[in-house]
Amino acid sequence: MKAAAYTKPGPPSVLIYQDVADPVCGPRDIVIDVHAISIEGGDVLSRAGGMVRPDGQPHVGGYLASGVICEVGAEV
């Protein structure tokens, strides 16, 4: 999937529109085919303040989204 993600903290220029792995649906999860997403104040603070993944994988911001559920875990 495509996402605006970053691997290091900093200004908006650290965001890179890139391919990232599709999410895996766990037993208590749902996967949404996202149609729109909002970058909120918390995302901006996280990016500027240094929230990065310890495994070096890109961090995808945006926790408010809309779309269509495309997969449901077995325990949902």
Model confidence, pTM: 0.69
Give the tokens for residue 31.
């996967």
For strand 64-72 and strand 59-60, is the pairing parallel, antiparallel, or unpaired?
A: unpaired
Element (H, E) at 70: strand 64-72
pLDDT value at position 28? 98
Q: What is the pLDDT of residues 37-69, one digit of tens each?
A: 888 888 888 888 877 888 888 888 887 889 999
Measured between alpha carbons, how far is 23 from 25 in angstroms, rounded to an integer?
6
